[in-house]
Each structure stands twice: as C-alpha cells, then as structure tokens.
Chains A and B, each alone.
Chain A
Amino acid sequence: QSVLTQPPSASGTPGQRVTISCSGSISNIGSKPVHWYQQLPGTAPKLLIYNNNQRPSGVPDRFSGSKSGASASLAISGLQSEDEAYYYCAAWDDSLKGRGVFGGGTKLTVL
C-alpha cells in the first residue's frame, strides 16, 4: 500500500486534457513539495514536474502540476499518443524519521 494514493488508470483521446490525482497527508504533500515522474515502458523514470509546478528544461508546457492542501494533480493537455506511460507522484514524508515516498502509479492510456 503506497503512502501517496493515485488512481491505477486514466485514459483520454488525442487532443484531450486529462488529470491525474495524488492524495497524501499533512506529513508529505500537505507540507512538502510534490514531484511527478513519467515512466515509458522499459525505461527509467523521467522527472516531469518538480516543486509542485515547475517544469525541467525540455518538458513541454502541455504538462502542468498543481497542489492544494494534501492533494496534488498532474494535468496533460493536448494529449498525444507518446504520452501513454505510467505517471508517479512523489514527496518527502516527515513521519517515521523521514523518508521519500511515491504514489502507486497511474497507467495513462491514449485511446
């Protein structure tokens, strides 16, 4: 059972806007920055969003992040077939002496 909760799946058609949610608690998302990773099949995760809503260089502005209280969301607009991947949220958690925690991952399918 992951500390951060994500829906196991999401889907959309090309061009649509989809959002993926990530729910946590005061000890993680509620007090720490949230980060998002994209993992294409058979590859290492790639940083997509850091510090709630910042995009690393090279990440298209179709990807955006937001946070409210102990929940966060990743939005993907203008959905493309190459966006089909797993998406993970992550944050530092101050409980249990402190640890990094991930969501269980959301499989995004482009229909």
Chain B
Amino acid sequence: QVQLQESGPGLVKPSQTLSLTCTVSGGSISRSDYYWSWIRQHPGKGLEWIGYILYSGTTYYNPSLESRVTISVDTSKNQFSLKLSSVTAADTAVYYCARGGPTWYMDVWGKGTTVPISS
C-alpha cells in the first residue's frame, strides 16, 4: 500500500529556509486524482494545513502562509517538497506530508518529522 515518509534537517536556524521532502512509495505520485499536502502541528496544538500540489505542478497554499511557502513535485523521484522561508520559533512544529482525495480528505499520512527552529 502507499506509504509516505518525510525527510529533512533536524534543526533550522531563525531567518533561514526550512526544506522538507516527502517520498511516496507503493504508488505513483503522478495520478490526477490525488492532492499531495503538507500539514503541521505546533507543540501541544491542533493541525494546520500548509498547502497542496497536484502531480501537474498546480499548487494551492494556505493564505496565512502563502508569502513564505513553496511546494514542488519531482515525479521522476516520486517525491514532493516543502520550502518555508524566513522561519521563526513560531514555525517549530511536527510537519506531516499526506495524500489527499478530491474533497480534501487526507487518507494516507507520513509519520511526521519534528523541526525545531533555534539558533
């Protein structure tokens, strides 16, 4: 079955760019009926949707983060990526990648990766 795995640096310094990659295994990222999403969860808090990308490269971002977010896809590697610029301590969170269906439900999630923002 389809599995997702996040990867990236364990620590990012303030003002730098956070970069994460999600590797999709057990299925192709190049299916037109799926949305590939990033979601984050601040420590002890609820879930926040960051954005999604289609295999075609079409993106949709949370307006509250849009100015700092870029999501891209590499179909040759079956991966999609997140870049969040100008990070602060407020961006410290667990970051999840997920596969989404047509009505924005997310049926397959990665295990999540904790990204502390600290100097």
A-side interface residues toward B, CB under 8 Å?
2, 32-33, 35, 37, 43-47, 50-51, 56, 88, 90-92, 96-105
- Chain B contacts of A97 at CB under 8 A? 63
Q: How many residues of B contact A (CB 8 A)?
A: 21
When distances are taken between beta carbons in the complex, the residues of chain A under 8 Å from B103 are: 32-33, 35, 50-51, 92
- Is the Cβ of B46 less than 8 Å from the Cβ of A104? yes
Query: Which chain B residue has the least Cβ–Cβ distance from A92?
Result: B104
Q: Which of A2, A44, A50, A102 contacts B112 (CB 8 A)?
A: A44
Complex: chain B residue closest to A86, CB-CB: B46
Contact among B60, B64, B109 with A45 in the assembled complex (CB-CB below 8 Å)? B109
Which residue, B47, B48, B49, has most C-beta atoms of chain A within 10 A? B47
Inter-subunit contact A102/B48 (CB<8 Å): yes
Taking the closest CB of chain B, its distance from the CB of A30, in whole angstroms, is 15
Decide: A96 and B63 in contact? CB cutoff 8 A: yes
Q: Once the chains are docked, how many angstroms separate the CA of A50 from the CA of B63?
A: 24
The 9 closest A-B pairs by CB, nearest first: A100-B49, A50-B105, A35-B105, A44-B109, A102-B47, A92-B104, A33-B103, A105-B46, A47-B107
